[in-house]
Amino acid sequence: MQLFQKIFHSSFSIIPKIRLYLDLGTTNTRIAIENKGLLLNEPTCIGLNKQTNQYIFYGKEAKTIIGKTPDFIKIIKPLSSGVIVDFDGTVALLKYFIGKAVQPYLVNYRVIKPTISVIATVPICATEIEKKAVIECLQKAGCSEIIIINKTLATATGSGANINSHTPCLTVDLGGGLIEIGIVSGGGVIAYRVIKNAGEVMNKLVMNYAYLKNGIILGESTCDELKINLLRFNQENTTLAVRGKSLENGLPKSIKMSTNDINEALLTSFNQITDMIKEIVEFVQPEIVEEIYKNGIYLSGNLAKVPNINDFFQKELDINTNLVETYGDTTITGLSKLGQNKEMLFQLNESF
Ligand SMILES: Nc1ncnc2c1ncn2[C@@H]1O[C@H](COP(=O)(O)OP(=O)(O)OP(=O)(O)O)[C@@H](O)[C@H]1O
Ligand SMILES: [Mg+2]
């Protein structure tokens, strides 16, 4: 309430304001500016020089050097399963990302420096402490006005739903840190389930699979590459040669992995998602189920880029599946849309 009032009152102030939308994802961070659209989409990754205690690599650059740095440089992913696990790293990264996104617009404000107001999404499963951590990080990163809203509502809006209508929408956001399944209707979330076994954990499962089956130690980026290039739910069977370290002697070793390997390594994860969708559908009222069956489910998140993933869910669940082709940008698209209605933002912030 206080936060919203601050925003509302300051709209009459002479101090100019830049309004940002932020989707702080476990794998990627997106920032949009009001009336300007999406301006930044970079990996949630930062590099720390442990000797000087200074952050020296950010976003894309930090991601490209994972596994290739000397010992005194540590590449940190400051979020895990959708929540902040490294406070200082998150502050430094947000400061850098916000600076980068607003930089081109600062020339318009030569006389008075604008304040930054931000509307950020936070996963529905976040605790009060985790929500507070997001707010504190944003304050330390230089934002003077902060509103947080439930990420599931933004994702549903980005998927094309009118969250205020009484037509339920079942969204499945397949992200890097969380698989978030939510049923949204009448301005709120009716039911939700969250699975932490998402894209980042799947990379670890690929790593374990190669370790046990091929006796090879693969790097995190290699496993991500294998998942992105080989995982598919069609008949295609592709192979990819990768390099790692032999488990026997620690020397470089190269192996070929196939679609069948990756599918086998990750099938349990995808079965867990179908089980959760079934569970949430069983949990809600029959009227809602009927509407959901009529409209289908909405798949978003970058993991939804896996070829034919919609066919997989359609077959397993016997329900229409709509692929939201903004994929990982669905949440920020929905958030920017929600941000246009200040009255509604107030209500959403209040109820979260
Ligand atoms: N083409 C692709 N095929 C399969 N997976 C992909 C593809 N592109 C990206 N991914 C995976 O998507 C995941 C990241 O998804 P996304 O960017 O939606 O997550 P996020 O929004 O940062 O995380 P979250 O919302 O869960 O906190 C990563 O695990 C990445 O490997
Ligand atoms: Mg996301």
- 307 and 281, same structural domain? yes
Provide the H-helix boundaries in the chain: 2-10, 59-64, 87-106, 128-140, 151-158, 199-214, 220-230, 259-283, 286-295, 309-317, 330-338, 342-351
Together in a domain, 81 and 142: yes
Spatial contact of 84 and 130, defined as CB atoms under 8 Å apart:
yes
Q: Residue 344's pLDDT is what?
A: 81
Domain range for 119: 2-154+331-351
> Residue 39 C-alpha to ligand 1 middle, in angstroms?
19
Residues with beta carbon inside 6 Å of ligand 1?
Answer: 25-28, 82, 175-178, 198-200, 224, 227-228, 231, 301-303, 305-306, 328
Q: Which atom of ligand 1 is nearest to the CA of 178?
A: 26
Hey, how many other C-beta atoms are within 10 angstroms of the C-beta on 46?
28
What is the C-alpha to C-alpha distance for residues 182 and 170, in angstroms, rounded to an integer? 6
**Do 217 and 278 sit in the same domain of this protein?**
yes
Provide the number of structural domains found in the chain.
2
When pLDDT is averaged across residues 10-34 and rounded to a whole number, the result is: 89
Q: 252 alpha carbon to ligand 2 midpoint, in Å?
A: 35
185 and 313 assigned to the same domain: yes
pLDDT digits (tens, 9 = 90+) for 47-60: 999 999 999 999 99
- Do 263 and 126 fall into the same domain? no
CA of 14 to the centre of ligand 2 (A): 35
Q: What is the rounded CA–CA span in Å between residue 69 and residue 47?
A: 9
Which pLDDT value is given to residue 300? 98
- Residue 9: the pLDDT is 45
Do residue 167 and residue 255 come from a single domain? Answer: yes
Q: For ligand 1, atom 20, name the residue with the nearest CA.
A: 25
Amino acid 173: pLDDT: 98
Nearest-atom number in ligand 1 for the CA of 179 is 26
Asked if residue 283 and residue 172 are part of one domain, the reply reads yes
- Using CB atoms within 10 Å of the CB of residue 113, give its burial: 0 to 12 exposed, 13 to 18 middle, 19+ buried: exposed
Residue nearest to atom 29 of ligand 1 (CA): 199
Please report, rounded to a whole number, the percentage of residues in the chain having pLDDT higher than 70: 96
Residue 348 has pLDDT above 90, yes or no: no
90-140 pLDDT per residue, tens? 999 999 999 999 998 888 888 888 999 999 999 999 999 999 999 999 999
Probe residue for ligand 1, chosen from 130, 302, 305 as the CB with the greatest number of ligand atoms within 8 Å: 302
Residue 288 is given by DSSP the state H
**Cβ pair 130, 120 in contact under 8 A:** no
Examine the domain organization and report whether 170 and 278 are in the same domain: yes
Same domain, 277 and 345: no
Q: Are 219 and 204 in contact (CB under 8 A)?
A: no
169 and 278 in one domain? yes
Closest C-alpha residue for ligand 1 atom 8: 302
β-sheet with 115-122: strand ranges across: 37-43, 28-33, 17-24, 115-122, 145-150
Residue 347: which pLDDT band, with cuts at 50, 70 and 90?
A: confident
User: Which residues neighbour 9 within 8 Å (Cβ) at sequence distance 6 or greater?
Assistant: none
Q: Closest-lying ligand to the alpha carbon of 158?
A: 2
Reply yes or no on whether the pLDDT at 2 is more than 90. Answer: no
Nearest residue CA, atom 13 of ligand 1?
Answer: 176
pLDDT at 1: 43
Is the pLDDT at 13 greater than 90, yes or no? no
CATH number, domain with residue 130: 3.30.420.40
pTM: 0.94
Ligand 1, closest atom to CA 28?
22
Tell whether 52 and 129 lie within a shared domain: yes
Q: What is the pLDDT of residues 187-237, one digit of tens each?
A: 999 999 999 999 999 999 999 999 999 999 999 999 999 999 999 999 899
Q: How far is the CA of 113 from the centre of ligand 1 (A)?
A: 36
345 alpha carbon to ligand 2 midpoint, in Å?
20
What are the tens digits of pLDDT across the range 144-202? 999 999 999 999 999 999 999 999 999 999 999 999 999 999 999 999 999 999 999 99
Cα–Cα dist 163/41, whole Å = 25
Residue 7 has pLDDT above 80, yes or no: no
pLDDT of 8 > 50? The answer is no
16 CA distance to ligand 2 middle (Å): 30
**Same domain as 177, residue 142:** no
pLDDT category, 12, cuts 50, 70, 90? low
